[in-house]
Structures are given as C-alpha cells and as structure tokens.
Structure 1
C-alpha cells in the first residue's frame, strides 16, 4: 500500500517516540497515509510491522556482531518494504546502526525518497566522524541537543533540535495512583527497572535483582516492585518467574509514570529511563554492565565523558546520580547504597534537587519533541 510517510523504529524507546510522532501527524494531517516498521506502540496505532525487529534489541559491539547477518537481512527487508510503499518521506527513529543501513539501501535504490533521521548518534560523546556518515545518508536530522548541531555544519546537513523526548513528554505521575495500582498501602517502595533490551535482562537484571533481594532481607518493610519495559516483559517473566516469592511485578496496566512517582528510591538500568525517573522526582542509582571488549573500546577509544548517565553529563560530568558500572556493578555495593538512601530522607531530597538542576540544563519542558519531529516530516525541504 502506498504511503506518504514510512516510519522505522527498531527498539523500545524509538518505537514509543515513533508512536507519539504518529499521533502528532494524525492531528496535523488526518488523512495522511502511514506505514511503519516497529513494535507494540506503533502496532497499537494500527501500524503493524511487516518484519519482526525484536532481534535488534541488543547492545554492545560483540552482541551486534553476533547478529550481524540478521541485521543486514532485516535492513534489506526494511528497504524492500519501503520501496514497495513508495513514500514521500521515511522517518528513521533512533537505532543508529540499523537505521543507517536502511537509509543507505533506500538512498541507493530510490534516491528521490526523502530520508529524515530522528535522534542522531552521540557524536558529542563518541566518534564524531559519524556526522559525515549520516550527512551522506539522509536529508535532514532531528536531534535532541543543541550541542549536536555544530558537528553537522561542515557537511551541510539540515538539523532541527527537538529536545529530549523523555523530558518533553513530561507527564507527571500520581504517587497515590501508583500505590493504588500496586496495592501498596504503606511502607517504602524500592523500584527496580531492569532494562528494555534482552541483553540488559540477561546482563544487568540479575545484579539489580540480587541487590534488591538483599535490601528486602535487611529491610522486610520495604516493598520491592519490579517493572521491566513493556516490550521485554514476557521475556523477563520467563527468565525470572520466581521473583514473586519476595517481590512484586508491577501490573501491566499500572501507569509507568505513576509507579515511578510512588517509588521511594529506584535501581535503574542506565538508559532513557533515568531521565524519566528524574522527571518524576524519584531519587535513584544507575547500573550497567556489558561485554568487556565492548566496554574497553567504548571507555578508552570512543566515549569521551567520565559518566554514562545523561543527567551526570549535563551536570558538568559530575555524579549527581550514583553510577555502578562494570567493576563497580556489584550487588553488595548497590544494596548498601539503596539501604543508605532509603534510610536518609535528607539525602533523597538533596539528590532530587540536584536532578532538577540537571534537568533544567537539559531543557526540561522547553520543547515538545514529537510535535517538532512531525512538523519536519510534513515539511517539503
């Protein structure tokens, strides 16, 4: 079926942003013909993906190499679907490696199709040379940060800044509604957010869960709530079905922002969710672990900042959010920090205040990301 705009999103965060953009596109131009490759959020808008992008939910160099052939095959299939739909514009949302391959294939086969990249690679943190690569592959970039723009100026790529989607989303949660949905009347809540990718459920979740279990052993009054991302929930339950013995899996219907707002403290897999927690004024720590070769390359050759959490980078690369990464990613250390914070209200309030300042530097609430992205897609540049 022919379309006006074709959206491509390969991971959970991109799928959510793409779905929000679809909502804005329909508001601005109700008769627009849309097609999409993506996940459950796009499917909920009636845009069912012709290919399964679930295998792309990996992170890390070695993890990516292991599925390289599958990535190439999926990029070929995505390009085929786009060419068949013959859209005016293609929106390539997040997922740098996959969407770049799709863009290059479409550019080669159908150069008249306009290609818009939504969320660029982190050229300000690692591998600035990717700015030239992207400029050669697409017609327009919709990026998150103002600091990205100068990287593309030498290559003549038009750039529009949309702000951070997690911040412009800005839905403030209701703590009472969160407790009601969880069925928790009293006692502190320790929220565990184990990730949105299968590799994170495999490599990050076990340590966060062990730390939370230690907190429960030390503080039986603490309610342990676990909320995996919706796209990975089934896999999490299959892998950790016994957590119900000592913790509670947040109901699927529980509004994520309400649950975050209700939490006293949180253990989070580093990622977009950290900004979401900060918006909800929930203090937390961030943890991460990946393959050692991937980490060594990222730390010593690619990644420039000392910290990995965007809030910390925004705070002049200082540790507003405690980070437990690689060798520091140990259950005992994480549990000790969680117990300390659960027992110190002043420390929690101080962290929330520091988070608020970091959010201000990131431009909280200044831009409505989906609206701006939709406007770029509808333009004829």
Structure 2
C-alpha cells in the first residue's frame, strides 16, 4: 500500500476529539508516511499535519438552545466539509465523536460512495435503541472505546470493533508531583482543589461562577486551601477573567498541562465529559456538576436513557463519584462534597478505590494504534 498516496478526511468538533484525531493521524503517518490528512479540527490536529479547512473551535457546543444559536456557523462548517468531500473524494472519512454533525456528514459521504469509519462511538447506550440502526445505515465501521459498547452494535448487525480508550495511554502526568508543586508554585502542605468548568464557552459561563462561589465556601471552611484550573487550548484568558473578576478567590489557571495540574489535586470539581474519565484514571477524587438551559435539560431527560452522566459512574455501573445535576448544582452542595473529601481521609479513599475499579474496567490502552491499524485495513480495501 505504501506506493500509493491515500487521502483521509478527519472531522472532529471538540477539544477531546481534536486530541484523538491528532494522535490517530500521527500513528497513521508512522505506518504510511505519505498519507494525506484533511478536514476539520483544532490546534492539535493542525500540529499533527492535518490540513484544516475549518477550525472547529468556533462550533464546539452542547445543548439544543446552544446549537440553535450557533446554527449558522455549524451549517457553514457542514457545507464546507461536504464540498471538501466531493472535491477531494478521500479514500476514507473518519468521523471523530461530535455525533449529530458527523451523523449528517457520514450520511452525505455514504450517498457519494465514500467509506466511513466512526470513532468514539456516540453514547448509543444512553440513547434510545433505535439510534444504533440509524448509525448502522450511514457508516462502514463503528470503532468503540469501551468494551461494553460492542453488544449494542452486534445485536443490530452493525460492523463494530473495540479499539480501546485513547485516554488510557495519555492519562499520566509528565512530571512528578513534587516537580509540579514547585513549577506551579503551590504549597505542598496545603490542600489543592481543581476547578474544571469545561472547554466550551457556554459551559464555562454557566458553570464557572457556581464553582467559584463553592470555592469561597470551601476557603471559609479550610483557610489554606489552594485552587487550580487546568486551562484547555480552546479556552481564552478573557473568557475566564469575566468570571474571575466577580470572585474573591485566587485561582491559578495552568495552561495545556491538564494531567500535571490534576495530579496535584486532592479533590476536583468538574463538569461531565471526557475530563471525568481522565481524572478517574489519575485516581483523584471528584464530583461531577452539570447545568444545561432548562429546555435542553428537559429534552435530555426525555431522550437520554441513562442513570448517570459522569463517565466513571457509567463505566462502573454505580455511583462512584457524586453527581450534582441541574438544580442540585448549587455552590453549597459542591462545597460540602469537596470539604467532605478533603477532611475525611476514609471517604476520599473509598472514592479512590472506586476509581481504581473504573480504571480496570476501561481496559487496555493502545486506542490510537488500534485505530490506525483499523483505518489502514479499511484503506487497503479502497
């Protein structure tokens, strides 16, 4: 195959997808140096050598209302990708998460005879079962990252392959805890609390003020406590400042060093999402808090068929970390749980043991390598 130059199109819409897309493409290039990559993503995918025709940092949104508000931008991104598909006719389209958008794009590709590999399965197990069949019609292969997802697809005869979770390989700090405490100028003898308000603008505007109010209550109870915030590439300083300026709390925002920042924490307040799994793999006790606009929340209640929203709990099949959803996501509730974790060593240890179990259930790493092998297999048949 190496004598032919193959073209792949990779499309992701969020910062976790950007990371997965970058890792996957780097693995592909190792195996097939002259492969061409193009599509939509963020900074990490661009750095990996994928030619971006649309920067996805404009459109990472969650929730029905948010999607409607950003509809024009999303539509434009979809049109750009459809045009690119027809102009370039890639040998394979790799859709990375970002399910609604990629579902539409996959359907379009399928109609025009282009092979589709879907990576990071839409959380079908959380949605009504009819979705599996729908996805089956627009893809050639579903690559899933959790072992428990496989039966959902097999039952409907949708081609599926378990590739392993990409976070398993990347969820470790680059430096020792001592080195990080020095580098981040943190006091080693005082507790550290992580604040993770998400990576999307609307999410941060909704959750950061609540977390900062909780931080004020935590500081009253435990005066020496320190607060850190791992700042994603897609998050601007201005965005954080608009919440920080209304707060008395000193928060250290640490850029692009997610795992090192989290490993310094004794407890973390986080929104739901990929971050919860990464924190679980680092075995740091956390709480999961989430608020959507009321209408999005009510729609989600109707559509989503899952008891939990935090990945650690979904994977464990039971409550390992506390979740505070919608009206329960109050500063008082969050503060109380973090104080409990910080002051009760036994309680914190129970949570850590639960996270160890999650780590075992997530299984082996090698997600990006397995994914690259699968993509090459599909390219060989084109």
Cα distance in 2 for residues equivalent to 1:291 and 1:314? 26
Aligned twin of 2:295: 293
Aligned twin of 1:33: 36
Match of 2:219 among 203, 211, 216: 216
Cα distance in 1 for residues equivalent to 2:248 and 2:26? 40
Aligned twin of 1:276: 278
Map 1:236-255 → 2, pairs under 5 A:
236-242=239-245, 246-252=249-255, 255=257
Aligned twin of 2:340: 340
Q: What are the Cα deviations for residues 88-140 of structure 1, in whole angstroms up to 9, with x where unaligned?
A: 111110100111111222233x31x2111111211111122121221111111
Residue 180 of structure 2 is aligned to residue 182 of structure 1:
no
* Residues matched between the structures, number: 373
Q: More deviation in 258-267 or 180-189? A: 180-189
Cα distance in 2 for residues equivalent to 1:302 and 1:251? 36
Aligned twin of 2:197: 194
Aligned twin of 1:303: 304
Residue 356 of structure 2 is aligned to residue 356 of structure 1:
yes
Aligned twin of 2:263: 261
Match of 1:72 among 75, 86, 92: 75
Q: More deviation in 47-56 or 271-280? A: 47-56
Residue 178 of structure 2 is aligned to residue 167 of structure 1:
no
Residue 204 of structure 2 is aligned to residue 206 of structure 1:
no
Q: What are the Cα deviations for residues 305-332 of structure 1, in whole angstroms up to 9, with x where unaligned?
A: 221112112222x221011111110001
Structure 1 length-normalised TM: 0.91
Label 1:45 to 1:243 Cα distance change in 2 as closer, same or farther (>3 A).
Answer: farther
Residue 376 of structure 2 is aligned to residue 378 of structure 1:
yes
What's the CA shift for 1:287?
0.5
Cα distance in 2 for residues equivalent to 1:235 and 1:98? 28
Aligned twin of 2:319: 319
Q: More deviation in 93-102 or 202-211? A: 202-211
Aligned 8 A contact 2:39 2:52 in 1 = yes
Could you list the structure 1 runs, at least 4 aligned residues long, displaced by more than 6 angstroms after superposition: none
Q: More deviation in 156-165 or 88-97? A: 156-165
Cα distance in 2 for residues equivalent to 1:105 and 1:348? 49
Residue ranges of structure 1 left out of the alignment (5+ in a row): none
Aligned 8 A contact 1:57 1:199 in 2 = no
Q: What are the Cα deviations for residues 24-79 of structure 1, in whole angstroms up to 9, with x where unaligned?
A: 11111222222231001112223342223223211112222333343222111111
What's the CA shift for 1:235?
5.0
Secondary structure of the 2:22 match is helix
Cα distance in 2 for residues equivalent to 1:26 and 1:103? 23
Aligned twin of 2:95: 92
What's the CA shift for 1:335?
0.7
Secondary structure of the 2:187 match is coil
Aligned twin of 2:147: 146
Q: What are the Cα deviations for residues 150-181 of structure 1, in whole angstroms up to 9, with x where unaligned?
A: 33335543211112222243425632232122
Secondary structure of the 2:306 match is coil
Match of 1:106 among 106, 109, 115: 109
Cα distance in 2 for residues equivalent to 1:251 and 1:259? 7
Q: What are the Cα deviations for residues 272-306 of structure 1, in whole angstroms up to 9, with x where unaligned?
A: 1111111112111110000222222222x222222
Structure 2 length-normalised TM: 0.91
Residue 118 of structure 2 is aligned to residue 135 of structure 1:
no
What's the CA shift for 1:203?
1.4
What's the CA shift for 1:356?
0.6
Secondary structure of the 2:365 match is coil
Cα distance in 2 for residues equivalent to 1:147 and 1:241? 40
Residue ranges of structure 2 left out of the alignment (5+ in a row): none
